[in-house]
Amino acid sequence: MTALAVEALGFAYGARRALDELTFELAPGRFGALLGPNGAGKSTLIALLTRLYDLQQGDIRIFGHSLRHAPRLALRQLGVVFQQSTLDLDLSVQQNLAYHAALHGMPRREAQARIEEELLRQDLGERRHDKVRTLNGGHRRRVEIARALLHQPRLLLLDEASAGLDPASRLALGRHVRNLCREQGLCVLWTTHLLDEVEPSDDLLILHHGQRVAWGKAGQLGDDLAISFARLTGDEALGRGHVREALRANLDPQARRSGFSREHPTEEPQA
């Protein structure tokens, strides 16, 4: 069964189209990276996936349940970690999790069992009684992941989850989430604008001006993701001094013949 199916999704803010006929699928247990420059449509997609915005065109299916026709069943499969933290800093780790479980209507005994399981899985057992404000950024993100997984969703959305973390914490968080995919069969959609957060084995979707410009295994795009990304989006801010020449001389021709799908490629920048 497909974990996430986005079907001909379209959305507009008045006359401006934020998403245009977007279609892609993710399988259970896969880590999917959603990459794009500012204004690509990433935030709009997350808002539609979480029903912060109503669907205008197309549909979203989460483990077979239509977000348009069966939203409760679809959202029951979904856990979310937003870019901005929503933890209560003056409550302990355990109190934050217990409060979230109560909002989901979980019986106390079941909630406590799930909290214990997630504290163990996120390696937070020794921090359960610590106030959240005493935790570093990486541990706060782990608390948010634990909270998002309390109701046992099968699809986890992380929207710019590494924002504000130092490089070591970002690396550790990415490794941790990929382990959840491998060991727990969790499907993850991870939105980012940072190229170093994408690994070759990830499923990679690149958005530009609301359109899918590439979709497939990240490793099939070539050895230098920055160059390929710049070529597909025209975003020279990634390389400034070297991207323009690299686009001409160093883009791996083998990548063009790979199985990676590139829709609507942009022209190479002119000198």
Give every CB contact of residue 147 below 8 A, 6+ residues apart in sequence.
Answer: 87, 96, 97, 100, 118
Estimate to the nearest angstrom the gap between the alpha carbon of 56 and the chain centroid. Answer: 22
Sign of CA dihedral 60, 66, 72, 75: negative
Q: Write out the chain's pLDDT in tens, 271 residues.
A: 899 999 999 999 999 999 999 999 999 999 999 998 888 999 999 999 999 999 999 999 999 999 999 999 999 999 999 888 889 999 999 999 999 999 989 999 999 999 999 999 888 999 999 999 999 988 999 999 999 999 999 999 999 888 878 888 888 889 889 998 998 899 999 998 888 899 999 999 999 999 999 999 999 887 788 888 888 888 545 544 434 444 343 444 444 444 455 564 434 334 3
Amino acid 255: pLDDT: 40
Q: Which residues pair with 60 in a beta bridge?
A: 6
Amino acid 260: pLDDT: 54
Amino acid 227: pLDDT: 86
What 8-state DSSP symbol labels residue 38?
T
Amino acid 261: pLDDT: 56
Starting from the edge strand earliest in sequence, which strands make up the sheet with 155-159, in order?
A: 78-81, 155-159, 187-192, 31-35, 203-208, 211-217, 261-262
Give every CB contact of residue 230 below 8 A, 6+ residues apart in sequence.
Answer: 236, 238, 239, 243, 247, 269
CA distance 262 to 251: 14
CA distance 150 to 135: 20
Assigned CATH class of 4-77+154-262: alpha beta
CA distance 34 to 105: 32
Please report, for the chain, the start and end positions of each structural domain, with discontinuous segments joined by +.
4-77+154-262, 86-152
What is the pTM assigned to this prediction? Answer: 0.81
Question: Nearest CA to 253 among 232, 213, 223, 219?
Answer: 223
Cα 188 to Cα 18, 48, 80, 172, 183, distances in angstroms? 23, 16, 10, 16, 13
Rounded to the nearest 5 degrees, what angle is found at the Cα of 191, between the Cα atoms of 187 and 197?
90
Query: Do the beta carbons of residue 135 and residue 141 sit within 8 Å?
Result: no
Estimate to the nearest angstrom the gap between the alpha carbon of 231 and the chain centroid. Answer: 23
Amino acid 162: pLDDT: 84
